[in-house]
Structures are given as C-alpha cells and as structure tokens.
Structure 1
Amino acid sequence: MYAGQFTSRFRHRDRLRHDEGAPPVADIEQAKATFAKFDADGDGRVTPDEFKSAMAAMGDHLVTGPMAEAVIKAKDSDGDGLMSFDEFWKSVQG
C-alpha cells in the first residue's frame, strides 16, 4: 500500500460513514482513536513497523516493510522517520 492508497482508504471510509449518517472520520476524536490503533506503544508516533502491524491487524497482510516505510516517509513532514498525530491528521484532512 502506498501513501496515496493509505490516505484514500480513510477518505473512502469517511464517505461511507457520512452516507450512513455517522459522523465523518475527519472528526478529530475518531481520528485520534484510529491513530491509537497504529501507535502500538502509545508514544504518540507511528513507526513503519507499527504501521505494518496495524495494517495486518486490519486484514491487509500485503503491506511490506518497504511499503510501510514509504507511507510513513510520505506523511512525515518533520523528517524524523515517524508519523505523529498531527501528520496523520493532516493526511486524512486532504
């Protein structure tokens, strides 16, 4: 899964939830809950390994280490090699 596919997946889910009358995933509380699923150690940053594991837990076992690294790198605006909640939030906002 590439960075665009990752963001697209959340936007698609947002549209589906909106169509069902549920609040959109862009709601910050829902985004925090989603981010927490990726942030396995709860330190506020998602590593490529955490990203890969979370995707596998959601049923996407095709995400490789290099793919996870590419997604994190694409979202990592401060260059620390990790995805913070703010970086995640910006990516789901479009």
Structure 2
Amino acid sequence: MMNKLKQYERLFKQFDENGDGKISACELKQCVEAMGEELSAEDAAASVTLLDADGDGLVGFDDFVRFVEGGKEEEKENDLREAFKMYEMDESGCITPRSLKRMLSRLGESTTIDECQLMIARFDLDGDGVLTFHEFKVMML
C-alpha cells in the first residue's frame, strides 16, 4: 500500500501545478488539456465539487486517493481494458510512444514521437517510458 501511495502522490503532484497540496478546477482543466483532452471550466468545477469532501472548493490528496481507490467498478474496469487495448502495441501489455502516436493518428491527431513521450511521461508512475494498464487506469480516473 505504501508504494501505491507514493505513486498516487506522484500523480497528484502532476495535477497540483502550484504545489499548494490541493487541486483546483483550473489545475484539473490544465492537466486534462495537457493530455490532449478537452474539459470545460464548468465540467472541471463540477468534478472538483464532486470530489471535494471538506467543502473548501479544492481536491486534497485524501479526496484524490479516495476517488482513485473507489473507482474499481467492474464495468468501468472492462471499458478501460478495451480502451487500453486500442492504444497498446502488439499485445505488449503497455502503451509506447509509437503506439500512442499510431492511435492518435487514427483519430486524426498529428503528433510527434517526442510529444507522445511527453504525454506518457506525465502518467508514467514507474518512470519506464511506457504506460502499463495500471498507469493508464490511474490516468483515466
């Protein structure tokens, strides 16, 4: 569990851009957009409100862990596995910069290998340069 907490801390810090120990709606929006997705300010604010247990308008580390740990419904897990397989290269068990570039290209996004490496690095919890299913799952939650 301690190793898992360290991974959560690393991921949390990716979202907590100003380092204040809390994730604001603005930080959530920026992080999602850095992954190449869109999130409106309204949706970011609604997400923060949903996750915020103490009512301070921000997502603290405990809120974040509770969300990540609580999102283990079987249907969601199966959907994530299917999505992961779309990005995975040759059933290797991981998403590589090359496989990410290939899938984004299929979706009409033009990216370089360097850009794909940066996208992966943001959620690469163990620093090996690829995303495992666990890392992909944490990213998607």
When normalised by structure 1's length, the TM-score is: 0.71
Deviations 1:17-39 (A, max 9, x none): xxxxxxxxx81111111110010
3-state secondary structure, aligned to 2:84: helix
Mapping for residues 7-86 of structure 1, pairs under 5 Å:
7=35, 9=37, 27-60=76-109, 62-86=110-134
Give the conservation status (yes or no) of the 8 Å contact 1:10–1:92: no
How far 1:9 sits from its partner (Å)?
2.6
Give the conservation status (yes or no) of the 8 Å contact 2:98–2:113: yes
How far 1:40 sits from its partner (Å)?
2.3
Name the % identity.
Answer: 22
How far 1:66 sits from its partner (Å)?
1.1
Give the conservation status (yes or no) of the 8 Å contact 1:48–1:82: yes
Relative distance call for 1:8 and 1:28 in structure 2 (3 A) is: farther
* Aligned Cα root-mean-square deviation (Å): 2.6
Relative distance call for 1:64 and 1:9 in structure 2 (3 A) is: same
Give the conservation status (yes or no) of the 8 Å contact 2:35–2:119: no
3-state secondary structure, aligned to 2:37: helix
Deviations 1:27-75 (A, max 9, x none): 1111111110010211111110110001101121x21111100011111
Give the conservation status (yes or no) of the 8 Å contact 1:47–1:83: yes
When normalised by structure 2's length, the TM-score is: 0.49
Please list every run of 5 or more consecutive structure 1 residues that lacks an aligned counterpart in the other structure: 16-25
- Which protein has greater RCO, CA pairs closer than 8 Å, 6+ apart? 1
3-state secondary structure, aligned to 1:27: helix
Q: Which structure's CA Rg is the greater one?
A: 2
2-side partners of 1:42 and 1:59: how far apart? 23
State how many pairs are aligned.
78
